[in-house]
A and B are shown apart, each in its own frame.
Chain A
Amino acid sequence: QKEVEQNSGPLSVPEGAIASLNCTYSDRVSQSFFWYRQYSGKSPELIMSIYSNGDKEDGRFTAQLNKASQYVSLLIRDSQPSDSATYLCAVNIGDQTGANNLFFGTGTRLTVIP
C-alpha cells in the first residue's frame, strides 16, 4: 500500500461546477497535509495546507481533513478552465512534520470543460 493514494483521473467537470478531489493516507498519526497544483510541464505550487480536522477555506478552494478516516479532500467551487491541472496531495507520514518526510500522491488530473 502506498503512503498517499489518489485517483489518477482524469476528472472532468463543467465550468462553474464543484470539483472534488480525494486523497487517502496510510499513517493515522500524520499531522500535516498539503494540496499542490501542477500545470503540464510546470512545477508544483502550493494551494493549501491543513493541520486540523474539519474544513479550511481559501477563496474558491476548501480543504477537508478527517484524521479518523485518514482522508483529505480538496473542493474547488465555481471551477474555471484555468483550474485544469494535476492536483497533488502531500502528507507528512508519521509523527514528524518536516518536509523531508513529506510523501506525495501520484496526482489527479482535472479538466474543466468550458
Chain B
Amino acid sequence: NAGVTQTPKFQVLKTGQSMTLQCAQDMNHNSMYWYRQDPGMGLRLIYYSASEGTTDKGEVPNGYNVSRLNKREFSLRLESAAPSQTSVYFCASSLSTGQSGNTIYFGEGSWLTVV
C-alpha cells in the first residue's frame, strides 16, 4: 500500500545546481501538493495541482517550478538552488480540493541541503 511516494529521500546540492523532486500517488487522487517544512515556520504550500492539467502557486512559490505529468505524478523543480531552499519537502495528495475530499495524505519527505 504505497500511498504517496517521493524521491529522492536525501539530497545535497551546491548553490546554483538544479534538481527535480519526483512524486507519485496510487490512490487515484485528483489533487496534489508540494510543501516545505522549516523549523519555526511549519508546513508551507509551495505549489498545488487541483486536477490533472492545472497547477497554481501556493504561499511560497518563488524559486520553484512544478509539472503535473499525469494524474499520478507531480514533480517539483529547483532551477538554481539557493541555501534558503534547504528544507524538508513533502509531497501530498487529496481526493479533491473540495471539503468532502480535502483530507491530505503526505509522502515520507525529502531532505534537501543546499551548500
Query: Which of A's residues lie within 8 Å of B, judged by CB?
Result: 4, 8, 31-32, 34, 42-46, 49, 51, 88, 90, 92, 97-100, 102, 104-107
- Give CA–CA (A34, B41) in the complex, Å: 18
Contact A88 B42 (CB under 8 A): yes
- Give CA–CA (A93, B40) in the complex, Å: 20
Query: Which of B's residues lie within 8 Å of A, judged by CB?
Result: 31, 33, 40-45, 48, 50, 56, 58, 90, 92, 94, 96-99, 102-109
Q: Which residues of B contact A8 (CB under 8 A)?
A: 40
Q: Which residues of B contact A34 (CB under 8 A)?
A: 103
Given A99-B104, A100-B33, A100-B58, CB of A44 within 8 Å of CB of B99: no
Contact B99 A104 (CB under 8 A): no
Query: Can you give 30 A-B contacts (C-beta < 8 A)?
Result: A4-B42, A32-B102, A34-B103, A42-B108, A43-B90, A43-B106, A43-B109, A44-B43, A44-B90, A46-B104, A46-B105, A49-B103, A51-B99, A88-B42, A90-B43, A92-B102, A97-B98, A97-B102, A98-B31, A98-B50, A98-B98, A98-B99, A99-B103, A100-B33, A100-B56, A102-B45, A102-B102, A102-B104, A104-B42, A107-B42
- Give CA–CA (A111, B32) in the complex, Å: 32
In the assembled complex, how far is the CB of residue A3 from the closest CB belonging to chain B, in whole angstroms?
Answer: 10
Contact A43 B98 (CB under 8 A): no
Q: Considering the complex of A and B, which 9 residue pairs feature the smallest CB-CB distances, nearest first?
A: A98-B97, A97-B99, A43-B106, A104-B43, A99-B102, A106-B42, A104-B42, A99-B94, A100-B48
Q: Which residues of B contact A98 (CB under 8 A)?
A: 31, 50, 96-99, 102
